Amino acid sequence: MPEPLPPLQPLRRLNLALQGGGSHGALTWGVLDALLEDGHWQFDGVSGTSAGAMNAVAMAHGFAKAAHEHKDPQEAHLAGCVAARETLTRLWEGVGTLGSLMWGSPLSAANPMMGMMRQWLSPYQTNPLNINPLRRLLEREVDFELLGSAHRSNAASQGPKVFVCATNVRTGRGEIFSGPRLSADAVMASACLPMLFKAVEIDGEHYWDGGYSGNPALHPLIYQTETSDILLVQINPIEHLELPHSGQEIMERMNEVTFNASLLAELRAIEFVRRLLAEGKLDARRYKSVRMHRIDGGAVLAPFGADSKTRADMSFVRKLFALGRAAGQEWLHAHHKDVGVRPTIKITDNA
- pLDDT recorded at residue 128: 65
Strand pairing class (229-234; 205-208): unpaired
- In angstroms, the CA 83 to CA 3 distance is 10
- pLDDT for residue 176 is more than 90: yes
- pLDDT for residue 2 is more than 70: no
Residue 37 contacts residue 7 (beta carbons within 8 Å): no
Q: How far is CA 46 from its chain centroid? A: 8
Q: Which of 119-133, 169-183, 243-257: highest mean pLDDT?
A: 169-183
Q: Which residue has better confidence, 14 or 303?
A: 14
- pLDDT for residue 339 is more than 60: yes
Residue 308 contacts residue 102 (beta carbons within 8 Å): no
- pLDDT recorded at residue 154: 64
DSSP-derived secondary structure for 209-262: -GGGT-TT--HHHHHS-S--EEEEEE-S-S---SPP-SHHHHHHHHHHHHHHHH
- pLDDT recorded at residue 283: 92
The mean per-residue pLDDT over the stretch 15-30 comes to 96
Q: Which residue has better confidence, 332 or 195?
A: 332
- In angstroms, the CA 158 to CA 97 distance is 30
- In angstroms, the CA 279 to CA 289 distance is 12
Q: Which of 39-48, 96-105, 140-149, 249-258: highest mean pLDDT?
A: 39-48
- The proportion of the chain whose per-residue pLDDT surpasses 90, expressed as a percent, equals 66
Residue 58 contacts residue 87 (beta carbons within 8 Å): yes
Residue 80's closest CA among 66, 61, 68, 90? 66
One-letter identity of residue 148: G
Residue 91's closest CA among 48, 128, 129, 124? 48
Q: Which residue has better confidence, 122 or 177?
A: 177
Residue 62 contacts residue 109 (beta carbons within 8 Å): no
The mean per-residue pLDDT over the stretch 113-117 comes to 46
Write out pLDDT tens, residues 75-102. 999 999 999 999 999 999 999 988 755 5
Residue 162 contacts residue 48 (beta carbons within 8 Å): yes
- pLDDT for residue 8 is more than 80: no
- pLDDT recorded at residue 267: 93
Q: What 8-state DSSP symbol labels residue 70?
A: -
- pLDDT for residue 347 is more than 90: no
Q: For all residues of the chain together, what is the average pLDDT? A: 88
The mean per-residue pLDDT over the stretch 252-281 comes to 90
306 falls in which pLDDT band (50, 70, 90)? confident
Q: Which residue has better confidence, 279 or 156?
A: 279
- pLDDT recorded at residue 104: 47
112 falls in which pLDDT band (50, 70, 90)? very low
4 falls in which pLDDT band (50, 70, 90)? low
Residue 262 contacts residue 215 (beta carbons within 8 Å): yes
